[in-house]
Amino acid sequence: MSGFVPILPQERQQMLAAVGISHPESLFDPIPPEVRWPGGDTDPYTAPAQSEMTVIRELKALADKNASTASHACFLGAGAYDHYIPAAVDHIVSRQEFLTAYTPYQPEISQGTLQVIFEFQSLICRLTGLPIANSSMYDGASAAAEALLMTIRQTGRSKVFLAGAIHPDTRAVVRTYLEAQNFIVEETPWPSAGLIWPEDLSGYAGVLVQNPDFFGRVHDLASLVAAAHTAGALAVASSDPISLALLQPPGELGFDIAVGEAQVLGNSLSFGGPFVGYLAARESLLRKMPGRIAGETVDRAGRRSFVLTIQAREQHIRREKATSNICTSQALCALKATISLALLGGSGLFEMAAQSAAKAVYLQQQLVATGLFDAMDSQPVFREFAVRLAGDAQASAESTLARLNAFLLAKGLIGGLDLGTVHSSLAGCWLLAVTEKRTRAEIDHLVAAVHDFFARAGKEASV
């Protein structure tokens, strides 16, 4: 159906009469005048109509004011990353079989969508080293919260622990989910200098750790898993799926549940969403998992077919027994991730991960070599790292990084995250991400621009 549905003037009057008003403006009467849009001839919503050419010209002028990754080299990460998306992803996902696909409530007419979900689950299982995965989650943060609710359902305990430098947004979502249900959330003092957890984890349902962590640091997780299991708790890993091409999968490390954000696979930044999360687990946790799972079977004629199975949602069972009543399949985003993984293959994913890791280390070394920054610590990093302003620059850290990022933007570069905006103790710390898309020339351009900024700042200070 077309997005434009024309109506005749008399049809409009019939609609207004049916609801008992004479003019569409009356629909807004309940809104107090002081908070309503004022209108007028200069108001773009009520101004005289313009031609299509004029409207397009004005909209393009507005769009050109945006600094996007199409026009700027992006070194900003902190949970959303500018990885390359093969052109075939958008082409395939736009096919009519997928373009209007919604949640497959009627499997007999949704075989294509169900197969895609099945393939997504299979790929996530291969990446994480765990035997089962669901059809996807809203995003990585809600996947982490749902995983911790799984640990509570499995163990019967009422508190969980967040170990190490977990993304602030994930921590906030976990607290929103769990504390509203009177569960207890404890965590390592944040921002943590390392991976720290209580000596005795007895009484905890589960422990969540992010690896690589919020600062891009990679940790040895074996002792944490052992400590959790010794105390009868479940171990949950939040992992970037691209990093799993280089790092040992959570399943092989002994984790019970793996979660993460899959935006990095075929999904654009899109101003922050929609993204798509993944959740995989040990088979013993199958009936504790939220959302849907697509299974493979055969029909009466013996043909391969797909069905929804273990449907523990509130649409299918009594609400009080549902594993989640706010979970859906991000089918289109999961489809993009599936297509992207299929196109990349194992070697392509490894190359993407290896380039991201190597280029991040190169930029880190170049920035430290300037003498303007110190490394945050000596931990190995993947794709992302934090540096701290050195020497005299640290004294004015509160404004320096904000001015530096503005300077870089004018140079066609999107700088890193000023960590002082995340936590006051991190003033003067800069978090940068480097994906396989960044060329050596772009990285060197960033370092040269940083030199230029501090050289100009020094001249201004001496005047």
Q: Which of 341, 366, 390 finishes a domain?
A: 341
Alpha helices, H only, 259-389: 331-369
Same domain for 332 and 431: no
| pLDDT score recorded for residue 398 | 66
Q: Which of 302, 324, 341 finishes a domain?
A: 341
| pLDDT score recorded for residue 442 | 98
| pLDDT score recorded for residue 49 | 79
Per-residue pLDDT band for 3 (boundaries 50, 70, 90) equals: low
Domain count, the chain: 2
Q: Is the peptide bond before 212 cis (omega within 30 degrees of 0)?
A: yes
Residue 405 has pLDDT above 50, yes or no: yes
| pLDDT score recorded for residue 245 | 97
User: Alpha-carbon distance 254 to 82, whole Å?
Assistant: 31
Please give the single-letter amino acid code of residue 414. Answer: I
| pLDDT score recorded for residue 462 | 45
Same domain for 285 and 207: yes
Contact yes or no for 261/277 (Cβ under 8 A): yes
Q: Is 10 helix (H, G, I), strand (E, B) or coil?
A: helix
Average pLDDT over residues 16-28: 90
Residue 31 has pLDDT above 70, yes or no: yes
Mean confidence (pLDDT) of the chain: 89
Same domain for 384 and 314: no
| pLDDT score recorded for residue 330 | 80
44 or 142: which leads in pLDDT? 142
Same domain for 413 and 331: no
Residue 81 lies in a domain: no
What is the domain-level CATH number for residue 367? Answer: 3.90.1150.10
Contact yes or no for 370/415 (Cβ under 8 A): no
Percent of the chain beyond pLDDT 70? 89
Residue 1 has pLDDT above 50, yes or no: no
Residue 257 pairs in a beta bridge with 236, 281
Residue 461 has pLDDT above 50, yes or no: no
Same domain for 350 and 332: no
Same domain for 396 and 337: no
Same domain for 257 and 140: yes
Distance, CA of 258 to chain centre: 15
| pLDDT score recorded for residue 47 | 73
User: Alpha-carbon distance 441 to 429, whole Å?
Assistant: 24
Residue 80 lies in a domain: no
| pLDDT score recorded for residue 95 | 84
Same domain for 398 and 283: no
Number of H helices, E strands in the chain: 12, 15
Which phi and psi (to 5°) does residue 189 adopt?
Answer: -50, 130
CB contact set of 316 (below 8 Å; sequence gap of 6+): none
Distance, CA of 76 to chain centre: 13
Which phi and psi (to 5°) does residue 443 adopt?
Answer: -65, -45
Same domain for 277 and 197: yes
Residue 95 lies in a domain: yes
Residue 270 lies in a domain: yes
| pLDDT score recorded for residue 48 | 76
pLDDT in tens, 367-388: 999 999 999 988 999 999 999 9
What is the domain-level CATH number for residue 310? Answer: 3.40.640.10
Least confident of 132-136, 238-242, 438-442: 132-136
Read off the tokens for 282: 């040990």
| pLDDT score recorded for residue 359 | 98
pLDDT in tens, 186-199: 999 888 778 889 98
Per-residue pLDDT band for 81 (boundaries 50, 70, 90) equals: very high
Average pLDDT over residues 67-84: 95
Average pLDDT over residues 313-334: 66
Domain that holds residue 457: 346-462
